[in-house]
């Protein structure tokens, strides 16, 4: 049996660990051969492959990124795309596909399944906002990186009697902000799920300054004020049409300076959060997902996604992963609010 593997969407620490685990398990226990498709769905679309044997996956466990490359190629927007993928798979003698990716990649996987392709999905999103899995790999690494940055900023904020705003990833869900903010002892955490009241933010900042500690505010890039409260820059787009990340942290710094008369500075952690070696948690999770994806292929249980529930790896329908976004529930935010101000 020959199995194709691809990685789609933004990169995430742990992708290589999944690839290695799928290949090692499939090789050893089922005698499978593997083929790597390059750059997400572009690979099967164009038949662009690379060898994926044991030697190819040797030493990649601790490495960030993906040896297969990635892209945001959306198969469903390409005329005849699905047919080309099926033809290429047939031509290469590939019987099944392991697709590692987020909402978009798994959405395509769902549709391919409906059109007769044997697909197993592996959930990936640094933002931890995929439904049907307790955690996604990469998230723990991002939270650790953001937490370490917050640890560092405490001392500089206090020495200069400044407020420091840390902007972290999270356009639609505030998981990274919630966890890193809680772990880093932030005085305010702002997430997309809950439009913030700038007056309350300022009140927390001022109360913090009174205790002689400096305020640290962690803000998800997708957080926004309650209607009418702050003027936001209109989203600039880059030459590829993507909206530029960043912005809310800097705006908050300006607003806090002008409302409190104290210095405020912002830091945008950006791409540093998603690169580099995965944390141990993410390596274990990614490895277990990979092993179980190979088992799912062997069981012929296609159209499923492997997922973490409690301490178990389970299989859920691919569609379950993408039917809705997993956002921060109100109780979790309230736990964090205990430490505000």
Minimum CB distance to a second copy, residue 87 (Å): 26
- In the DSSP assignment, the letter for residue 333 is H
Smallest CA-to-CA distance from 31 within 15, 54, 47 is with: 54
Is 113 or 287 the residue whose CB approaches a second copy more closely? 287
Nearest in space to 35 (alpha carbons), one of 14, 21, 16, 56? 56
186 vs 223, which CB is nearer to a second copy? 186
Where in 184-223 is the site for a second copy (CB under 8 A)? 184-185, 213
The reply to whether 127 belongs to the active site is: yes
Residue 284 engages a second copy in binding (rule: CB under 8 A)? yes
> Is there a binding annotation on residue 206?
no
Identify residues 308-337 at the interface with a second copy (CB under 8 A). 309-311, 335
Give the start-end residues of each E strand in the chain.
Answer: 2-7, 33-37, 49-51, 96-101, 119-123, 163-168, 188-190, 216-220, 264-268, 304-309, 312-317
Cα distances from 256 to residues 87, 184, 200, 233, in angstroms, run 58, 20, 11, 16
Considering only residues 142 to 161 of the shown chain, the ones binding a second copy according to CB under 8 A are: 143-149, 151-161
- Considering the rule CB under 8 A, would residue 293 count as an interface residue with a second copy? no
According to the binding rule CB under 8 A, does residue 115 interact with a second copy? no
Figure out which of the listed residues 70, 110, 118, 136 binds a second copy, where binding follows CB under 8 A: 70
Q: How far apart are CA 268 and CA 266, in angstroms?
A: 7
29 touches a second copy (CB under 8 A): yes
Is residue 304 a contact residue for a second copy (CB under 8 A)? no
Q: How many residues bind a second copy (CB under 8 A)?
A: 82
Which among 38, 32, 33, 34 has a CA at the least distance from the CA of 7? 38
- For the annotated catalytic residues, the residue numbers are 127
Q: Give binding residues for Mg(2+) as ranges.
A: 103
């Amino acid at each position: 049996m020959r199995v194709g593997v691809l990685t789609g969407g933004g990169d995430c620490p742990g992708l290589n660990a999944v690839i290695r685990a799928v290949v090692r398990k499939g090789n050893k226990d089922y005698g499978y051969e593997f083929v790597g498709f390059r750059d997400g769905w572009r690979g099967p679309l164009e038949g662009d492959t690379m060898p994926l044997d044991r030697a190819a996956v040797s030493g990649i466990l601790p490495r960030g990124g993906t040896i297969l490359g990635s892209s945001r190629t959306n198969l469903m927007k390409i005329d005849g795309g699905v047919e080309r993928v099926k033809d290429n798979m047939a031509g290469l003698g590939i019987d099944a596909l392991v697709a590692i990716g987020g909402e978009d990649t798994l959405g395509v996987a769902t549709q391919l399944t409906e059109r007769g392709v044997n697909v197993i999905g592996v959930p990936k999103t640094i933002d931890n906002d995929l439904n049907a899995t307790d955690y996604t790999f990469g998230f723990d690494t991002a939270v650790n990186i953001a937490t370490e940055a917050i640890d560092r900023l405490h001392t500089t904020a206090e020495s200069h009697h400044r407020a420091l705003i840390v902007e972290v990833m999270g356009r639609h869900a505030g998981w990274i902000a919630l966890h890193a903010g809680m772990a880093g002892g932030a005085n305010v955490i702002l997430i997309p799920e809950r439009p913030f009241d700038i007056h309350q933010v300022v009140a927390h900042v001022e109360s913090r300054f009174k205790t002689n500690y400096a305020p640290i505010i962690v803000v998800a890039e997708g957080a926004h004020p309650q209607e009418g409260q702050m003027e936001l820059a209109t989203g600039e787009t880059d030459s590829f049409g993507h909206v530029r990340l960043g912005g809310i942290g800097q705006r908050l710094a300006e607003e806090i300076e002008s409302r409190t008369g104290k210095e405020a500075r912002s830091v945008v952690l950006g791409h540093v959060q998603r690169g580099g070696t995965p944390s141990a948690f993410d390596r274990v999770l990614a490895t277990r997902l990979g092993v179980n994806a190979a088992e799912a292929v062997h069981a012929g249980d296609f159209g499923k996604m492997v997922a973490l529930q409690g301490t178990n790896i389970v299989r859920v329908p691919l569609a379950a992963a993408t039917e809705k976004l997993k956002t921060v529930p109100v109780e979790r935010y309230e736990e964090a609010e205990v430490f505000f101000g």
